[in-house]
Amino acid sequence: MVSARLRLAGAGAASRIGFAVGAGGVATSLVAGVIFAWLESGAAPPLMRHPLDPAREALVEGESGRFVEEHRMFAAIQPRDAEAQLRLAGALARHGDRPEAIRVLERVLALGPVPPAVHARLAVLYWNSARVDEARVQARRAVELGAPVPPELLVRLGLADG
Amino acid sequence: MAEATALRLGRTFVGPAFDLLVIAGGLSFPLAAWLLYDGRSAAALIGLSIPVVALLVNQAHFAASTVRLYTKPGAFETLPFLTRWLPLVTLALLSVSVALAGEVGRHLWALSLTWSPFHYAAQTFGLASMYCYRSGCPLSSGERRALRWACLLPFFKAFLGGTGAGYGLGWLVPAGVVAGDPLFFALFQGAVRFLDVAVFAAPLALFAWLAWRPAGSARAGDPAPARRTGMPLASLVVMLANGTWFVLFDYYDAFVWATVLHGLQYLAIVAVFHARDHAPPAASGGRGALRQVAWFYALCVALGYGLFQCWPWAYRLAGFGAVESTLMVIGVINVHHFVVDAYIWRLRRDPNYRTVMGPPAGEPPRG
C-alpha cells in the first residue's frame, strides 16, 4: 500500500517535471523566436506567405547560395513532389548550375506522371545546354499536355512556324 | 428556435443559419462554386489575402485544440499524458525533425499531410453524429458504422489523390510504381472514379435510409422505434461539404480550402463547448457566453501566432534554415492537433455529452 502510494507520488512528480520541461521549453523557444526576429528585422515575426519567402529575400540581398540551399531543403522534405523539385531546378538554373537542374528534373521524370511544366522547363534547359534532340522531345510532350513553352523555342526547334 | 423547419435542419447549437453555414460547413457550397467559376488556384489566392485568413482561421483553429485541452474542466486528471507529457514529446519530435529534416522531417511532413484528410473525415463523423443525437435521431450500431464509412470516403479519395505529390498512397508507394503497372493503374483509376461518386452518393443514400427506415429496424437494445426520427439536414450538409473539396478540386487546392472551412467549423463548435463549460448559467444572459467566446478566440489567435509565426524563428536562431524550421513547425502542430483532438471530443462519461444534448445557445436548459 505504502509502496503503491510512493509509486503514484513519484509518477505525479515525474509528470509535473515533464510538463514543466515541455511547456517551459515551448514557451522559452517562442520568446527566443520573437527576440531573434526582432533583432533580425526590427519587428515582430511577420505573417509568412510561403516557406520559401526568406529564400527569395536572400536572393534579393545577393545571397544566391542561401537561395539555392533553401530550395534544396524544400525539395528534400518533399522528395516525391514534382512541384518542389521543379522549384529546385528553377533555383539551380538561376544560380547557373544547369547540369544539376537537368539532373533534378530527369529524376522527377522517373517518379511517374509529372506536371506538364516539368517537360517545358526541361525543354528550355536542354536547349540552353545545346541538347537539341532532347529539347525537341520534351517541348513536343509539353505542347501535347498543354504546358506553355516559349514560342521562340518552338520555332527554333521546328515545332512552330516563325 | 431549435427544431427544424421544412426539411428538418435538426436541433442547432447556435441558430439555424449559423449552424448550417458555419458549423455544418454549408459555406463550402457557394465558395466552391465561386472558386470553380473564378478558376484561380489556392496558391494564386494565397498570395493575395490568405496570410491574415490563415492566422485568424487556420492557425487559430490548430491552437484551439490546445487551448481547449488546458481549459477543459478536469483535463489534467482525465488526460494526464496529453496535458503533461505531450508538450515535451512534441518539442523533442520537432527538434529531431528540424535537425534531420531530409531523413526524419520529411516523414513528419508526409504524415501530417496524409493524416489531415482523415482528421477532417473524423470531425465530419463527430459533427454528423452529434447533430443526429441532438435531433432525436439515435443511431443503431450498424447505422453508426455506415455513417462512419460514409464520412471516411473523402479521406480515401484524398489518400489516392495525393499519390502524385508523394502523400497518402504516394508516401508508401511511389507514383511511378502505381502508373507503371497497367493492372494496378487501372484499379487505381477505377477506385478514384468510384470514390468521386460515392463521396456524395453514400451520404445521400444514408440520409434517405434514415428518413424512411422501417420503424422495426432497430435491434434489441437500440433506442425505442417510436422515438426514432430521420437524419437532420445538418448532418447531411456536414458530410457533403467535406466531400465537396476532395472531389471538385485537385489535391493541393482541396487541402488548402478544406483546411480553411474545417478551421472555421472547428472554431465555432469548440467555442460552443468552451462557453457551455465556462459561462455562468443563464443569470447574465448571453453576455457571459459571448465574453467566454471572445476570450477563447483571442487566446487561440495569440497562441496560433506564437506557434506558427514565432516558433520557426527559434530554430532559425539555432542556425537552421527557414524552410525546415517553418515546415517542421507546421507538421508537428498538425500532428499534435490530430492527437489532442482524438481525445478531447469524447462523449462517453464526459461533460461534452451534456453540451451535445443541451439546448441551443440562448435557450434555457430543459427540466
Give pLDDT tens digits for A53-62. 999 999 999 8
Check whether B18 has a pLDDT greater than 70.
Answer: yes
Same domain assignment for residues A136 and A59: yes
CB B141 within 8 A of CB B364: no
Same domain assignment for residues A70 and A148: yes
* Residue A7 near chain B (CB below 8 Å): no
Q: Measured between alpha carbons, how far is A118 from B165 in angstroms, rounded to an integer?
A: 14
Instruction: Report helix, strand or coil for B39.
Output: coil
Same domain assignment for residues A21 and A59: no
* Residue B99 near chain A (CB below 8 Å): no
C-alpha cell at B137: 435521431
Q: Measured between alpha carbons, how far is B12 from B18 in angstroms, rounded to an integer?
A: 9
Same domain assignment for residues A61 and A36: no
Q: How many domains does chain A have?
A: 2
Q: Which chain A positions have a beta carbon within 8 Å of B326's beta carbon?
A: 48, 51
Query: Mind listing the pLDDT tens digit for each residue in B140-170?
Result: 889 999 999 999 999 999 999 988 888 999 9
pLDDT of residue B232: 93
> What is the longest distance spanned by two Cα atoms in chain B?
68
In a domain, A6, yes or no: yes
Q: Which chain A positions have a beta carbon within 8 Å of B80's beta carbon?
A: 15
- Does the beta-carbon distance from A18 to B165 stay under 8 Å? no
In a domain, A87, yes or no: yes
Q: Which of B62, B323, B328 to mutate to test the interface with A (most CBs of A within 10 A)?
A: B323
- Distance from the Cα of B313 to chain A's closest Cα (Å) equals 4
- Distance from the Cα of B179 to chain A's closest Cα (Å) equals 6
Q: Which chain A positions have a beta carbon within 8 Å of B89's beta carbon?
A: 22
Q: What residues 243-262 of chain B have any CB closer than 8 A to a CB of chain A? A: none
| Amino acid at position B102, single letter | G
- Distance from the Cα of B315 to chain A's closest Cα (Å) equals 8
- Does the beta-carbon distance from B166 to A81 stay under 8 Å? yes
Q: Measured between alpha carbons, how far is A89 from A100 in angstroms, rounded to an integer?
A: 8
Residue A90 CB coordination number (10 Å): 17
Higher pLDDT, residue B338 or B51: B338
pLDDT of residue B333: 97
CB B10 within 8 A of CB B232: yes
Check whether A134 has a pLDDT greater than 80.
Answer: yes
* Residue A65 near chain B (CB below 8 Å): no
Check whether A98 has a pLDDT greater than 90.
Answer: yes
Same domain assignment for residues A60 and A112: yes
Same domain assignment for residues A75 and A132: yes
Q: Measured between alpha carbons, how far is A60 from B332 in angstroms, rounded to an integer?
A: 30
Please identify which residue in the block is written with the cell numbers 420503424. B215
Residue B280 CB coordination number (10 Å): 11
In a domain, A18, yes or no: yes
Q: Measured between alpha carbons, how far is B220 from A17 in angstroms, rounded to an integer?
A: 50
Which residue does chain B place closest to A70, by CA atoms?
A: B323
Please identify which residue in the block is written with the cell numbers 502510494. A5
pLDDT band at B251 (very low <50, low <70, confident <90, very high): confident
pLDDT band at A102 (very low <50, low <70, confident <90, very high): very high
Check whether B209 has a pLDDT greater than 80.
Answer: yes
Q: What residues 138-177 of chain B have any CB closer than 8 A to a CB of chain A? A: 164-166, 170-171, 174-177
Q: What residues 96-115 of chain A have any CB closer than 8 A to a CB of chain B? A: 110-113
Q: Which domain holds residue A5?
A: 1-46
Please return the burial class of B275, using the count of CB atoms within 10 Å of its CB with bins 0-12, 13-18 and 19+.
Answer: buried
* Residue B54 near chain A (CB below 8 Å): yes
CB A109 within 8 A of CB A118: yes
Same domain assignment for residues A76 and A121: yes
* Residue A12 near chain B (CB below 8 Å): no
Q: Measured between alpha carbons, how far is B97 from B315 in angstroms, rounded to an integer?
A: 11
Same domain assignment for residues A29 and A90: no
Please identify which residue in the block is written with the cell numbers 435491434. B219
Select the residue of A19, A69, A83 nearest B321 (Cβ to Cβ): A69
Select the residue of A33, A53, A77 nearest B310 (Cβ to Cβ): A33
Q: Measured between alpha carbons, how far is A117 from B106 in angstroms, rounded to an integer?
A: 24
- The rounded percent of chain B whose pLDDT value lies above 90 is 58
- Does the beta-carbon distance from B88 to A74 stay under 8 Å? no
Select the residue of B89, B178, B306 nearest A112 (Cβ to Cβ): B178
- Distance from the Cα of B316 to chain A's closest Cα (Å) equals 8
Q: Which of A47, A67, A86 to mutate to test the interface with B (most CBs of B within 10 A)?
A: A47
In a domain, A161, yes or no: no
- Does the beta-carbon distance from A112 to B86 stay under 8 Å? no
Same domain assignment for residues A88 and A38: no
- Residue B49 is classified by DSSP as H
- Distance from the Cα of A102 to chain B's closest Cα (Å) equals 19
Please give the full DSSP string across chain A, using - where no structure is assigned.
Answer: -HHHHHHHHHHHHHHHHHHHHHHHHHHHHHHHHHHHHHHHHSSSPPPPS-TTHHHHHHHHTT-HHHHHHHHHHHHHHSTT-HHHHHHHHHHHHHHT-HHHHHHHHHHHHHHSS--HHHHHHHHHHHHHTT-HHHHHHHHHHHHHTT----HHHHHHTTSS--
Q: Measured between alpha carbons, how far is B343 from A32 in angstroms, rounded to an integer?
A: 31
Q: Can you give the CATH number for the domain in which A68 is found? A: 1.25.40.10
Higher pLDDT, residue B343 or B153: B153
Check whether B350 has a pLDDT greater than 80.
Answer: no
In a domain, A81, yes or no: yes
* Residue A43 near chain B (CB below 8 Å): no
Question: What are the two backbone dihedrals, phi and then psi, of residue A24, each rounded to the nearest 5 degrees?
Answer: -65, -40
Check whether B1 has a pLDDT greater than 50.
Answer: no
Same domain assignment for residues A144 and A65: yes
Q: Measured between alpha carbons, how far is A26 from A20 in angstroms, rounded to an integer?
A: 10
In a domain, A15, yes or no: yes
CA-closest candidate to residue A105, choices A93, A123, A92, A118: A118
Buried b (16+ CB within 10 A) or exposed e, B214-244: eeeebeeeeeeeeebebbbbbbbbbbbbbbb
pLDDT of residue B309: 94
Given phi > 0 = left and psi -120 to 50 = alpha, else beta, which region is B220?
A: beta
Q: Which chain A positions have a beta carbon within 8 Å of B180's beta carbon?
A: 112
- Does the beta-carbon distance from A77 to B314 stay under 8 Å? no
Same domain assignment for residues A100 and A137: yes
- Residue B364 is classified by DSSP as P
Q: Measured between alpha carbons, how far is B20 from B22 in angstroms, rounded to an integer?
A: 6
Same domain assignment for residues A144 and A72: yes
pLDDT of residue B91: 96
pLDDT of residue B365: 44
